[in-house]
Amino acid sequence: MFRVLVLQALYTLSDDQAEYQLRDWLSFMRFAGLALQDAVPDAKTIWLYREQLTPAGALARLFACFDAMRSPSAASLLWAGRSWTRPSSRPGGPG
């Protein structure tokens, strides 16, 4: 579910828009870790998830960790399916 919140932040989507885009865009489903046969979270579920994380400050901490992973010091990390992995060495490239 956190990945859905990431998509909302990146594309400035409301809860309703996030639900729609998850149903419409295969790339959004893949990023969120959903298979075609999986149920897409509805707008109310997305809202409830965010509301449960916000009071304890957990949402801010999760986004701080996410932002740290996107920092220049972590630039060698690539999204590969469902986990962060280091890129493999390329011929003629560093590493």
| pLDDT 10s digits, 18-72 | 999 999 999 999 999 999 999 999 999 999 988 888 887 877 787 777 777 765 5
- Band (74; pLDDT cuts 50, 70, 90): very low
pLDDT at 82: 38
Phi/psi of residue 76, nearest 5 degrees:
-80, -5
pLDDT at 88: 41
Paired with 93 in beta bridges are none
Query: Is residue 77 over pLDDT 60?
Result: no
pLDDT at 94: 46
Q: How far apart are CA 55 and CA 17, in angstroms?
A: 24
- Run of H or E including 85: strand 83-85
